[in-house]
Amino acid sequence: GESVGLHLPTLSVQEGDNSIINCAYSNSASDYFIWYKQESGKGPQFIIDIRSNMDKRQGQRVTVLLNKTVKHLSLQIAATQPGDSAVYFCAERMNTGFQKLVFGTGTRLLVSP
């Protein structure tokens, strides 16, 4: 069935480095993707989204890349800061029936000072 998966459960980086978090999706009918950040004890926070008619979108220190050929999504965080430490997960919206989101399990980003 449809699924959203993440390549790495934990990513450790040094402060100031760039981070790349990856996500694979399996539903070619998905037309919209979102990255969320979830800090301990908090609900998921919307970071950035991208529609399937785009392959790149930039926000403040974050960039999302979409490769529909291999069904791959990535989140790039520039100059990673300790405050970026959290679980990040992607979600895809399947454009079939009611347009609900399917979420991945998440990648934990650990930023060392």
Partner 1 sequence: ETGVTQTPRHLVMGMTNKKSLKCEQHLGHNAMYWYKQSAKKPLELMFVYSLEERVENNSVPSRFSPECPNSSHLFLHLHTLQPEDSALYLCASSGRYNEQFFGPGTRLTVL
CB of 107 to partner 1, least distance (A): 12
What is the DSSP code string of 34-96?
EEEEE-TTS--EEEEEEETT-SEEE-SSEEEEEETTTTEEEEEESS--GGG-EEEEEEEEE-S
If binding is defined by CB under 8 A, does position 1 make contact with partner 1? no
Tokens for 84?
């970026």
Of 26, 54, 103, 112, which lies in the binding site for partner 1, with binding defined by CB under 8 A? 103
CB of 97 to partner 1, least distance (A): 9
Residues that bind partner 1 (CB under 8 A): 4, 32, 34, 36, 41-46, 49, 89, 91, 93, 98-106
